[in-house]
Every structure is written in structure tokens, then in C-alpha cells.
Amino acid sequence: MSWIELPEDHPTPSLVVDCVTVDRNLQRMQDYCNDHRLGLRPHTKTHKSIRMAQRQIACGAQGLTVAKVGEAEQMFAASGDLFIAYPAIGPVRLRRLEQLAQRCSELSGGRLAIGVDSKQAAQGIAHAARRAGVSIGIMVDLDVGFHRTGIESSEHAIDLCTWVANQADLEFRGLMCFPGHILPHAPKESWDHYHHAISQVVERLSQLGIQVPVVSGGSTPTAQESHRNPILNEIRPGTYIYNDWNEVCLGVASIDDCAARIVATVVSVPTKNKFILDSGSKTLSSDRNCVDPDSGFGKVVEYPEAKVSRLSEEHGEVVFAENYAGPRPSVGDRVWVIPNHICVCVNLQNKFFLHTDGQLDELLVDARGMLV
């Protein structure tokens, strides 16, 4: 039986999202956050959909996270409490930020915050806030071991926090970090460092009389372990709403938890052990599996022993092992593919089909391609 029964004329390749699975994923994360008194501010880069963001807010999320200003402009339709977890550098971003800050401030409960790891970034935001005539929240980004953005030295972090706290046009909102390097079964030292890197900054700021209202962390793999870092009071998982093959391989989701899948058609069976799907890198993305990079570009649900071995732009090549003796598909068959990395896959689609009670609604991926 197919994961979701689709009409014969359903277009492929296309992204299909199951509402029941989405709601279960959202509720599970919200329950965890409620049980541990953590604020949930989901990262909307996974779904890029206003409708999905509204579901997250309705389920209890206190606000939303985005990466880019363009995403924030879209997600404003779902919540005026937005956090841009990405440095807003450059005149184009800052001009748009100025307008967005004004729009947020006009909403009751609306507020905007940005993550920064440099004084230059904070200065640009302070100017934008002054021009807008509103105060903008700042979250100082700490590197807790992922080594991407973020300040590694606690002294530098304290300097920046202190500077921000003294600016009339900025509101020092707190600290953010992204523990992307901590995967299930990570050594205790990784968690200890995650905690220590933040707590020493918080303690020193407290001695200086600077309160840290928000300490925001979390990723999907660490989300439901966040109580191991008791200094956190907010988490920002994104992938958890849909899950993907990476999360299954990491052991933080089951196949049943994968709410967003690509339906693809077998367009060729060139040899006994090979079939070709109409979904290539322009549909699935070329992201490799984070647990086993050589395991293929996603999982074909109906043929779990097959490997999506090679992608061209519009062709997904799937192979069976030489000694494979199980069932094989025929030209014209449809299959479900769980992508390795659903966030990138979603950003490749203009629209998706939302499955609710046997019905399929076609929705836009509202923030698709919003890269500025």
C-alpha cells in the first residue's frame, strides 16, 4: 500500500506532506519543551511555509526563527515575534531589516531580534534601528563547538554583550548558539563544553549587572536532550517538523516520522539491477547522508535495499546489489523517496501538496529562494 494514495494524474516529481505526521512531530517537540520549561522557537528554514509556521504557533511555539531577512518578511504573516539567526550584513539586508523592525513593532507582542557575532554587525543593526525609530533585539552568537559563526572566546563575547547592552537603539536579548556538532551518543565532554561555554559568559555578565533573558540553543538531533544543558531556556529545532533520512540514520526519527516525501515516477529500467526516477539533484538536492556519506541520495521507501547511487539534474539512478532477489519496479511505477536533507529539498520546490483527511491541497513554498 502506498504511503498516501494519490490520484493517477498527480504530477511527479512533487513534494507531499502529511498533516497527521506533521502534527504528531510538532506536538512531541512542544510537549518536551513544556515538560522542561523551554521556549520553542522553531527554525522555519525547513518548511519555508506560512501555513506550517502557523501550525507551529498554534501548537505553542512562542515565536519563529529564520535565517534570512527575506524569510522573515514571509514568516511575519505567521508571527510578529521573529528571530533572524544570521548576521544581517550589508546595506540591502539592513534597509529591509529597518522596514521589518517597524512592522514588528506595530504589532501587539511583535518583536524582532538578530543574531550577531561582531561589533560591525551590531553597529549596522543599531543604525537601522535608529532610522526605523524602534529598538531591535540582539542575540550574541557563541561558538559552542560547531565552528561556523559564533564567538569562541568568552572575553570577546562578554565585550560584545556589554557594548550591545549600552546601546540606546539595541535591546540585549541574550545568547544564541548552534550545537550542530553534537549528534546522538556524543561524548559527555561535548555537552559539558556546550554548557560551560555559555555559563561562563552568563555568570560574568551577571557580575557586571547585565541580565541574559534568553539563552537559545538546540538543533533537531539535540532538541530532546536539551535538559542536559540546563542553562538553555529556548531551543530552535527546524528539521523536526518533517524529519528526513539523515534524522532516521541518526536515530532521532523513525521512517513513520518522515512527514515530507518526494513522489517520483520510474521513467526507465535500463538494466535488471537499475532503475531511473524523474527526480534528480534539482528535486532531491545533492546533499549526502550525514551518517554514511556513501549510502546514496535518500531512501526509496518501497525498495529499502536499493541505493540512490547517482543524481543528474533530472535523473535519479537507483541500483540493486548484484545478488538482489527481491521485487523490482516497472516503468511508470511511482515510488516515495525520503530525501537525505529535507530543508534543501523543500527549497528546490515551488509548491508542495499537503495531505489532510484524504485531501491534497496545493500550497506555495512561500519563502523558497529567499536568500537575502
Ligand X SMILES: Cc1ncc(COP(=O)(O)O)c(C=O)c1O
Place of cell 530525501: 339
Spatial contact of 273 and 325, defined as CB atoms under 8 Å apart:
no
**Residue 250 to residues 178, 186, 245, 306: CA-CA distances in angstroms?**
18, 11, 8, 19
**How far apart (Å, rounded) are the C-alpha atoms in residues 143 and 151?**
5
**How far apart (Å, rounded) are the C-alpha atoms in residues 261 and 300?**
10
Q: How many residues sit close enough to ligand X to count as binding (CB under 6 A)? A: 10
CB of 54 to ligand X, least distance (A): 19
Nearer to ligand X, 43 or 93 (CB): 43
Which segment (9-17, 26-34, 235-243, 311-319) binds ligand X by CB under 6 A? 235-243
DSSP 3-state assignment of 102?
helix
* Site membership for ligand X, residue 239 (CB under 6 A): yes
Which segment (14-22, 29-37, 99-107, 237-245) binds ligand X by CB under 6 A? 237-245
Nearer to ligand X, 12 or 74 (CB): 74
**How far apart (Å, rounded) are the C-alpha atoms in residues 73 and 56?**
17
Q: For residues 31-90, which are near ligand X according to CB under 6 A? A: 43, 85
* Site membership for ligand X, residue 341 (CB under 6 A): no
* Site membership for ligand X, residue 345 (CB under 6 A): no
> In sequence order, which ranges of the chain are alpha helices (DSSP H)?
19-35, 50-59, 69-75, 91-106, 119-132, 154-165, 188-207, 220-223, 245-250, 281-284, 342-346
* Site membership for ligand X, residue 219 (CB under 6 A): yes
Nearer to ligand X, 43 or 55 (CB): 43
Q: Within 10 Å of residue 236's Cβ, how many Cβ atoms?
A: 25
* Site membership for ligand X, residue 220 (CB under 6 A): yes
Nearer to ligand X, 48 or 334 (CB): 48
CB of 239 to ligand X, least distance (A): 4
Binding residues for ligand X, rule: CB under 6 A, are: 43, 85, 178, 219-220, 236-240
